[in-house]
Each structure stands twice: as C-alpha cells, then as structure tokens.
Amino acid sequence: GAMSQVDKGGWKWTGRKVSSPLDDGEWHHLASIYRPNGSNDISGQVLFYIDGVLQPTYDQYQGGGVFLNNFRFYIGSRANSSVPFNGLIDDVRITKGVLTPTQFLKARTVSKPVVAHWSFDTPETALQDASGNGNNLTGGSGVVFTNGYASFNGASHVLQTATQLNLSAYKDVTVEFFIRPHANPAVQMVLELSPNINGHNGCFFSTLNEVGAGALTGTSFLNGWHVDKTQA
C-alpha cells in the first residue's frame, strides 16, 4: 500500500506481507532484522525474510528515530497475557548485527556465537540459553517441549526471559526462528520484546495474521505477518 504519515501516539512501525501462506503444515524460517540507523526510511530499518526471501513493505507509519531497548523477551503470547500462539516454534536466535540470508539458520538446531539462542532441543534444557550468555527463559506452563521444538496450544501460557534482555547496546540485531503454525486465527503473538508494546518505546514484536486492534487502521492482511517497531 501507499506510505502514510499518521500520528499513532509516538509509535513507529512497519509491516511486511507474507508472499505465501505459513499454515501449510511445513516448517518455515523467519528472520526480522532491526537496523535503527540503516536508513532514513523505516522500510530500510526493519527487514523481514521468509525462507530467505525478503518480503515487501505493505504500509508504514513514519516519524522519529528507531532504537532497541531493554525489556523482557516473550515467546508465544503478548507479555503472557493475550493473543497466544498456536503451533510449533524452534531455534529462536538473536544475533548482533545484520545477517544475510546465507548466514541464517539453515536447519533447526544449529548454533553459532549469538546474543541469545533458545534451541528447545530437550525438555531438560528447553529454558536454557544455548549461546552461553545466560539469557535463560522462565515459565513454560502450557508449552510442551518434544522432538526438539516447542509446541504452543493456543491457550494461556508463560514463556519469557527470566530477566530483561538488553539489546540497547547493539546498533543492529537479527531475530530469527523456525515456525509451523497450526492455524491462522484473527491474531497470534509470536515474539515480543516489551512488557506490552503499547506505550513502550524501543520495542518490537511479530504477530501472525494480525487484524483489528494494533493493525493498521482500516486494513487487514490475511496470511500476513506483522513486524512492529516503536519510536522515541
């Protein structure tokens, strides 16, 4: 869609649209790249890849600077309070810098030096940060760790970093993971760096098939993926 200048109370976000459905029963690799200083246009500050293919921008709110902040990191629901994810997630990896598709994870359970990496390899180690940086998860109620991945049931569950995940020192970060959704309902929160992104600057989150509250006013995109970034 056309770019628009809209006052959203200080928010700055971009959306990127999926070129093919994600609920086809197969694993897909997704990567969000946050480059606060990468461009004067937010379309160059937030990149989104599906299976190594850069996705197009569909619309965007403009204004203000973009930065990374220091909040808890949640997997599978919005601050563990709403819009829970229903499906499978594996190898959530956060890397300092801008990775190219050739540097993305090629298969589930691959490790390299990173900021944080939750590989979900075994139930016993599922909450541990495989990067060795101590960014361990807490909770896990309602999440089943089996066959080397995390299974989310679409109901209330808790999976979050035990402490805040500080990304404020990094100029750029790449956030990637494998996903196999069970369905595309109205909205599912997959990842969030925030207590609840509304009103918290320097956050980001990824939602599956977002419509309604939090989406662009008057628009929706079926089989879409939404990557948001707030402004100062």
pLDDT band at residue 228, thresholds of 50, 70 and 90?
low
157-187: per-residue pLDDT in tens?
779 999 999 988 888 889 999 999 886 556 7
The answer to whether the pTM exceeds 0.75 is yes
CA-closest candidate to residue 165, choices 71, 40, 75: 71
pLDDT band at residue 192, thresholds of 50, 70 and 90?
confident
10-59: per-residue pLDDT in tens?
445 555 656 666 778 889 898 888 877 766 665 677 788 889 988 776 55
